[in-house]
Amino acid sequence: MNFEWMFRHHIGRRIDKWRHYFDIYDRHFDRFRGKRVRVLEIGVDHGGSLQLWKHYFGPDAEIVGLDVDPRCAAYAEAQIEVRIGNQSDWSLLKSLGVFDVVIDDGSHRLQDQLASFEALWPSTRGAYLIEDCHESVPVLDAPLQYVYPWVVVVERPQRLIRGKDSRELRPDEVQAEVYRCL
């Protein structure tokens, strides 16, 4: 089941997504499905996309939503936590912890997108997607950037390792080993 199929068969809270984003989600998020992942979605709206991400990523996924509207706290449920606050609040973002996937569908203002990226990217292990770049495409200091109409995706490089160790691993190799295991 791809994202579009799940979207079309979703029963639950309202979801508002651009159709041309669906293939982008599958292309960049499919490798995380069915794994123990932590996902942050900035911008909760009616809470439906949180439910869809929970279904898309699977029963071992932890979904965190962040929104400025205190009414969104009511959308918390099993596997879904909702935090209330501003996406440009550096200390709040840092307090959220480490994520495998970040989806910025928040204010859609360039300055907020940049602030969130700067705070969250260092602790993002996999993919960071910024939706609705209508104002302009943010210039990001990160490798592996993909630019689509209204969407920017940044990914961590995936280093693949095979074979047995012949010596003790250096710290950078230990870090690569951590990313390989995701």
Which residues are catalytic, by number?
A: 108
Strand segments, DSSP code E, in the chain are 38-42, 62-67, 80-84, 99-104, 124-130, 145-148, 151-155
Handedness of CA 114, 120, 121, 127 (dihedral sign): negative
Residue in 119, 62, 53, 61 with CA at minimum distance from that of residue 86 = 119
How many of the other CB atoms lie within 10 Å of CB of 74?
A: 9
